[in-house]
Amino acid sequence: MRVVVTGGAGFLGSHLCDRLLDRGDEVVAVDNLVTGSMANLAHLDGSRGFSMLRHDVSQHIRVDGSVDAVLHFASPASPRDYLELPIQTLKVGSLGTHNCLGLAKDKGARFLLASTSEVYGDPQVHPQAEDYWGHVNPVGPRGVYDEAKRFAEALTMAYHRAHGIGVGIARIFNTYGPRMRPSDGRVVSNFAVQALTGRPLTVYGDGSQTRSFCYVDDEVTGLVALLASNLAGPVNIGNPEEHTVAELAELVIEMTGSQSAIIREPLPVDDPAQRRPDIALARSVLGWEPTVALADGLANTIGWFRRELGRAR
């Protein structure tokens, strides 16, 4: 296959590029580097079948030659990033998705959308299955991300229904692993870097809010299974093992052997109180479920941050 991966220089997108190239696909990564980095793709420089196009996908996208799949992963994804880039986030979810769907239509390609558990907002149903419509504050600060992704899902389904293009909507739940940006502000990167540098771990609120953390290798396996299927979705791709943020802080301190304290900081506005995917659909239709335990995934991730911080020093 020849696959276009938007957001290919980001955390998830770069792992996706690796997986596709490993199985023999050709990959065109398209990225404007707003939150991504060429360092995530440096190991692919000169690799057979790989090319990179530096481009903002909120502008018309031109890719020469045939394309079998368009994987739309471009978007600021960490709350810190999308709160700093609210308009770019809305544009890449709306105009960017429109351009990517147009490219898929033009090339007769399958289209995959990186949607998110944030479409469920601060959910009042637990765990979240795909038929739950969510509980989103459209005018709150997180609305720029949540509503961009909800619009992207609606547009994807409109192209599917009106133009008959093959689509797959993945609702991705909190994913972690090597190549997260140390300063992206997400909980795993923050806690790992804080613990490794002896700074206090910043638990927002009382730490009783929950998340369900999926290791990046598992996530990519689920996404590739969705790509290979005919499923339009939406389908949750995440790890159903749920932890409080306070538990995660304790675990990171234990695993790093850090002397860091744990401190409390204010809970961000509209921070979801609980989040856990129901993955019955992914299990039955894609035959997928995560296999990497949190302790193992965190060990790899902490090891990677340790090396990155050492390199930076």
Positions touching ligand NAD (CB under 6 A) are 6-7, 9-13, 31-36, 56-58, 73-77, 81, 92, 96, 114, 116, 172, 174-175
User: In the set 8, 13, 79, 166, which binds ligand UDP (CB under 6 A)?
Assistant: 79
Which residues 234-253 are close enough to bind ligand UDP by CB under 6 A?
245
296 dihedral zone (left: phi>0; alpha: psi -120 to 50; beta): alpha
In the complex with ligand UDP, the residue whose CB is nearer, 190 or 256, is 190
We find the least distance from the C-beta atom of residue 261 to ligand NAD, in angstroms, to be: 27
Q: Which residues does 16 contact at the CB level (< 8 Å), separation at least 6? A: 5, 8, 71, 73, 220, 223, 224
215 in active site? no
Instruction: State which residue, 91 or 260, has the beta carbon closest to ligand NAD.
Output: 91
From ligand NAD, ligand UDP, none, interface partner of 204 (C-beta below 5 to 8 A by class): ligand UDP
Nearer to ligand NAD, 25 or 218 (CB): 218
Find, among 278, 185, 191, 281, the residue nearest to 233 by Cα.
281
8 Å CB contact between 112 and 71: yes
Kindly list the distances between the CA atom of residue 184 and the CA atoms of 3, 70, 121, 164, 255, in Å, as whole numbers in the listed order. 27, 26, 21, 37, 21
> What is the spatial distance between Cα 3 and Cα 112, in angstroms, rounded to a whole number?
11
- Write out the H or E segment, with its range, that includes residue 69: strand 69-72
**Smallest gap from residue 12 Cβ to ligand NAD (A):** 3
> Cα(280)–Cα(272) distance, rounded to whole angstroms?
22
Position 32 contacts ligand UDP (CB under 6 A):
no
For ligand UDP, the binding residues in 284-303 under the rule CB under 6 A are: none
Which residues are catalytically annotated? 145
**Site for ligand UDP, rule CB under 6 A:** 78-79, 174, 186-187, 190, 202-204, 209, 211, 245, 267-268, 271
